[in-house]
């Protein structure tokens, strides 16, 4: 890999966090669509058998953010609006999809949806910004990760 990944292994969305979603990272740079299968577990629930709405929003944001970053490395969420259509259940495979609707300058607009079969259970519209890599070096953890990648690449 010529450029470092935008998430570290501890990322809740695409990393190895024990209770995370473990979403796959996109396979190529410059992509316009991202698709993944996701299953929320008991540790993701709010009411009995129902996924916490904040985690549904986080999954939509993560899919959109992965797409934004692989579309134009690196990128961050500027805003996201979520619409919940029906409760999302735990222990059930769902389809998570995100696609670029517009890309101009630093701004990337991305729509996403979470589906149960053919039914959309939640959807989002977001704006993401391409940022300089230094954005991620503002914390001690970010600087340590950057230094580790510099050693690996150099």
- Cα separation values, 125 from 41, 112, 143, Å: 25, 7, 31
Element (H, E) at 62: helix 53-71
CA 57 from centre of chain: 10
pTM of the model: 0.88
Question: CATH class for domain 33-153?
Answer: alpha beta
Q: Which of 91, 98, 80 is nearest to 116 (CA)?
A: 91
Per-residue pLDDT of the chain in tens (154 residues, 90 and over written 9): 444 555 567 788 888 888 889 899 888 888 899 999 999 999 999 999 999 999 999 999 999 999 998 888 788 999 999 999 999 999 999 999 999 999 999 999 999 999 999 999 999 999 999 988 778 788 888 888 778 777 877 7
């Amino acid at each position: 890999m010529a450029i470092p990944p935008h998430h570290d292994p501890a990322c809740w969305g695409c990393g190895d966090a024990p209770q995370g979603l473990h979403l796959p990272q996109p396979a190529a740079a410059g992509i316009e669509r991202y698709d993944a299968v996701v299953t929320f577990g008991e540790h993701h629930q709010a009411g009995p058998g129902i996924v916490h709405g904040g985690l549904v929003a986080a999954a939509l944001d993560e899919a959109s953010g992965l797409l934004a970053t692989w579309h134009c490395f690196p990128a961050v969420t500027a805003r996201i609006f979520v619409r919940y259509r029906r409760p999302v259940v735990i222990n059930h495979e769902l389809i998570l999809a995100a696609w670029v609707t517009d890309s101009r300058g630093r701004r990337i607009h991305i729509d996403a949806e979470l589906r149960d079969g053919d039914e959309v259970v939640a959807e989002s519209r977001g704006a993401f910004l391409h940022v300089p890599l230094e954005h991620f070096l503002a914390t001690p953890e970010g600087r340590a990760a950057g230094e580790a990648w510099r050693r690996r690449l150099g």
